[in-house]
Amino acid sequence: MSNVKLTIVYYSATGTNHTLAKWAEETAKAEGAEVRLVKAGELAPDAAIASNPAWQAHHNETKDVVKEATSEDLEWADAIIFSTATRFGGMASQMKQFLDMQGGLWAKGALVNKVVSAMSSAQNDHGGQEASILSLYTSLMHWGAIVVPPGYSDPVLFTTGGNPYGTSVTVDAEGNMSPDVKPAVEVQVKRTLDIAGRIVGN
Ligand SMILES: Cc1cc2nc3c(=O)[nH]c(=O)nc-3n(C[C@H](O)[C@H](O)[C@H](O)COP(=O)(O)O)c2cc1C
């Protein structure tokens, strides 16, 4: 059993990354980890959200249910898993804004040796899922965080899209995800907790 403290930070407009994050939470809790599930704060104006019924619906569903991520959620954690929607081949600006607000933690070295891993989604099979994860990892390397990619550390990763950087999924306009990446999320979470446990000496 893990006694790692894990924060899961996601940004999701229409629910996909929320689902990935919930699967990560479920897996981590089953492993015994202490878990916080938080979202990057919304930056889009109300009119933009309202222009997309799926975005508005997800926004309403999570508004008072999921807490917005804070620096304290990062400082508290031994390990952090990020999950972001893809925007033009990179992480969503809401997630980038959250990262960019961590200068204070960075300056005092509080993000050094955080064990991190990332997941993403996009609408097209080759629409930038890998690039989104890599854009996250670039910032996290500046923190001195320890990036834990799944690689091909488990056979299940060959049947769940085969992205060695992190779990990623393709989602259509109706919200259907393919392939079924839940097993990949489970592997990624367990591996992140395993490495974090070794770092914090549990
Ligand atoms: C402004 C914008 C840019 C996007 N850029 C891409 C892209 O570069 N590649 C792609 O495949 N999908 C792109 N998408 C689709 C989103 O990645 C997709 O809706 C998202 O992964 C769904 O995740 P969510 O349900 O968690 O919001 C874009 C969507 C928006 C609104």
DSSP secondary structure letters along 59-122: HHHHHTTSEEP-HHHHHH-SEEEEEEEEETTEE-HHHHHHHHTTHHHHHTTTTTT-EEEEEEEE
> In a mutational test of the pocket of ligand 1, which residue from 12, 59, 87 has the highest number of ligand atoms less than 8 Å from its CB?
87
- Reported as a single tens digit per residue, the pLDDT across 81-125 is 999 999 999 999 999 999 999 999 999 999 999 999 999 999 999
Who lines ligand 1 at CB under 6 A?
A: 12-17, 85-89, 121-124, 127-128, 171
> Is the separation of the CB atoms in 5 and 78 below 8 Å?
yes
Q: One-letter amino acid identity for 197?
A: G
Alpha carbon 90 to its chain centroid, in Å, reads 13
> In a mutational test of the pocket of ligand 1, which residue from 12, 52, 56, 86 has the highest number of ligand atoms less than 8 Å from its CB?
86
- Reported as a single tens digit per residue, the pLDDT across 57-88 is 999 999 999 999 999 999 999 999 999 999 99
Q: Which atom of ligand 1 is nearest to the CA of 124?
A: 11
- Categorize the per-residue pLDDT at 201 as very low, low, confident or very high, splitting at 50, 70 and 90: confident
Pair of tokens at residue 144: 């001195």
Instruction: Judge whether residue 126 has pLDDT over 80.
Output: yes
Residues contacting 128, CB < 8 A, separation 6+: 86, 88, 89, 90, 122
Q: Which atom of ligand 1 is nearest to the CA of 85?
A: 21
- Reported as a single tens digit per residue, the pLDDT across 132-173 is 999 999 999 999 999 999 999 999 999 999 999 999 999 999
Residue 196 CA, ligand 1 centroid: distance in Å:
30
Residue 152 CA, ligand 1 centroid: distance in Å:
26
Q: One-letter amino acid identity for 69?
A: A
Mean pLDDT rounded to a whole number for the chain: 97
* Cβ count within 10 A of residue 105: 17
Pair of tokens at residue 68: 């917005």
